[in-house]
Amino acid sequence: MPAARISTYRGPACPACSAELELPALRDGAQTCAKCGTSFEARVFHPPQRSARVLQLAQLGPDGATSCANHARNAAVANCERCGLFICSLCEIAIEDGTFCPSCFDRMSKEGRVAGATTRFRDYASLAITMSIFSLIMFPLTGIPLGSLSIYYVVKGFRNRDTATAGKIGLVLALLMGLGGIVAGLFFLVMIIAPKVF
């Protein structure tokens, strides 16, 4: 059995030849590898710097502060508004709803009670396909409104940058079926209004 190969990250590299790229020369946008000449797009990540000043209890003296519940050597700067624990500046998570400790923030975000931490996204391709199928099946009653709704979801799906290729194919099919539902609904409506013409 061959030994497992361990690879370590050594920094940014060319996607074609794996030649190391010079970090100071990198910028957002089009790049060209100096070794193989391959052109590629790059985005340079600039992480935000956290400027938390952590006070040690020894700096404040014996009477100066209360210790953090998670870090006994750090001085508490706030308390959690949910559970009341004293927390240091490393543990403090300040959002629009207040200041929370990490465990309460995780619990609240899983329950969906933190508006800034929601990670729900709509699958516009599935919504568009569903509405277009119903517009074709029930065209005498709801072909026009459901077909229009499916086209609306198609437009929203194409504007969403995270839509995969399979989702785009589904959006095109939903567009065609939605248009078919609208046409069938209009034809049925015309047949009711003016039956003698046909």
Q: Is the same domain home to 31 and 81?
A: no
Residue 110 predicted with pLDDT over 60: yes
Q: Is the same domain home to 134 and 100?
A: no
Structure confidence by residue, pLDDT tens digits, 1-20: 455 556 566 778 888 888 88
Q: How far apart are CA 52 and CA 38, in angstroms?
A: 42
Residue 163 within a domain:
yes
Q: Is the same domain home to 100 and 66?
A: yes
Give yes or no for a contact between 28 and 42, defined as CB atoms under 8 angstroms apart. Answer: yes
Structure confidence by residue, pLDDT tens digits, 160-173: 766 666 778 888 99
Q: Is the same domain home to 128 and 178?
A: yes
Residue 4 within a domain:
no
Residue 196 within a domain:
no
Structure confidence by residue, pLDDT tens digits, 123-143: 888 888 888 898 888 877 788
Q: Is the same domain home to 61 and 97?
A: yes
Q: Is the same domain home to 130 and 111?
A: no
Structure confidence by residue, pLDDT tens digits, 60-107: 555 566 888 888 888 888 899 999 999 988 899 888 778 899 999 888
Q: Which residues contact 53 (CB under 8 A, 6 or more apart)?
A: 89
State which H helix or E strand residue 193 sits in. Answer: helix 165-193
Helix, strand, coil % over all residues of the chain, rounded to 5: 40, 10, 45
Residue 38 within a domain:
yes
Please say which residue of 90, 117, 144 terminates a domain: 117
Report helix, strand or coil for 3.
coil
Q: How far apart are CA 97 and CA 112, in angstroms?
A: 13
- What range defines the domain where residue 93 resides? 57-117
Give yes or no for a contact between 28 and 44, defined as CB atoms under 8 angstroms apart. Answer: yes
Question: In Å, how far are 47, 82, 150 from 114, measured between CA atoms?
Answer: 23, 12, 31
Residue 157 within a domain:
yes
Residue 74 within a domain:
yes
Residue 52 within a domain:
no
Q: How far apart are CA 61 and CA 26, in angstroms?
A: 47
Residue 6 within a domain:
no
Number of domains in the chain: 3
